């Protein structure tokens, strides 16, 4: 592909935001090129596999997602550190668990069918402002430039734009063949001592377990930082799927006050 050309818009990053922007612009008749440093939009993803209903309602593209790539989850089961739980559901509300790599590849295909070009294995190295737009290093000129290349955006750095300084870091694993007692719920575990949220839920053809916490400012979290003796598929007293941590087996659970609508206390019987 010859990248030395003029175009209406260059989108940096074949992320969900980048591909959605490219699709909207190409569908409106603009000449769009997406620059993506990876060789495939579905590899090395740094995003969760869950789409909330609010996004489905606002983004028309998601209405046409193939059913083979998603699974509907209508409710949440929220656990306290002592493993008491409360079920949360709202009429008509749901999440979509996805085969995220396949979803990203499907969206990329829709973008190309709309007439946009995706230049894989092409990293953004810099840009400068022009009176009529931008000159992108190694590409040419464009009227508009969209940086959809993540929280540490090179586009933002090159153009002196604002940058994110606080992040939520996490890790997620998918397990084939695992089962859940309540497969139609997203199971979330609150751990006050570690100040983290653990989640366990159905995915497409497998089960996914994830953990998240606030990242230290100015640092990158590595997978090794998430060890902490966590045993995501063992309970302290049984083999239920709970996400309990091995280094907490001898500790008394933290007391948690459960409250429902209008701050009313939820009885112990209702929490079970």
Q: Which domains does the chain have, with CATH numbers?
A: 7-67+99-159 (3.50.50.60), 74-93+167-271 (3.30.9)
> How does pLDDT run across 174-188, given as a tens digit for each residue?
777 777 888 888 888
In whole angstroms, give the CA distance from residue 47 to residue 138.
Answer: 29
Tally the residues of the chain.
272
> How does pLDDT run across 73-119, given as a tens digit for each residue?
999 998 888 888 999 999 999 989 888 899 999 999 999 999 999 99
In whole angstroms, give the CA distance from residue 3 to residue 90.
Answer: 49
pTM of the model: 0.70
Token duo for residue 68: 């083979």
């Amino acid at each position: 592909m010859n990248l030395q050309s003029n175009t209406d818009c260059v989108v940096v990053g074949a992320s969900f935001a980048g591909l959605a922007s490219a699709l909207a612009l190409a569908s409106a008749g603009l000449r769009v090129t997406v620059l993506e440093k990876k060789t495939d939009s579905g590899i090395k993803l740094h995003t969760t596999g869950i789409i909330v209903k609010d996004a489905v309602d606002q983004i028309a593209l998601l209405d046409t997602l193939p059913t083979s790539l998603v699974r509907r989850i209508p409710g949440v089961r929220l656990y306290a550190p002592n493993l008491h739980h409360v079920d949360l559901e709202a009429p008509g509300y749901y999440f979509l668990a996805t085969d995220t790599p396949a979803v990203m590849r499907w969206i990329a295909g829709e973008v190309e069918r709309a007439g946009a070009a995706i230049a894989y294995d092409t990293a953004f190295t810099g840009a400068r402002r022009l009176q009529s737009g931008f000159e992108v290093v190694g590409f040419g000129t464009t009227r508009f430039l969209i940086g959809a290349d993540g929280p540490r955006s090179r586009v933002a750095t090159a153009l002196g734009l604002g940058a994110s300084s606080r992040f939520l870091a996490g890790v997620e694993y998918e397990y084939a063949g695992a089962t859940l007692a309540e497969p139609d719920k997203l199971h979330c575990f609150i751990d006050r001592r570690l100040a983290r949220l653990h989640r366990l839920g159905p995915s497409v053809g497998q089960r996914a377990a994830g953990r998240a916490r606030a990242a230290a400012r100015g640092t990158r979290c590595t997978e090794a930082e998430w060890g902490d003796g966590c045993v995501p598929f063992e309970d302290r007293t049984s083999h239920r799927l709970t996400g309990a941590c091995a280094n907490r087996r001898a500790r008394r659970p933290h007391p948690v006050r459960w409250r429902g609508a209008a701050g009313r206390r939820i009885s112990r019987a209702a929490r079970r």
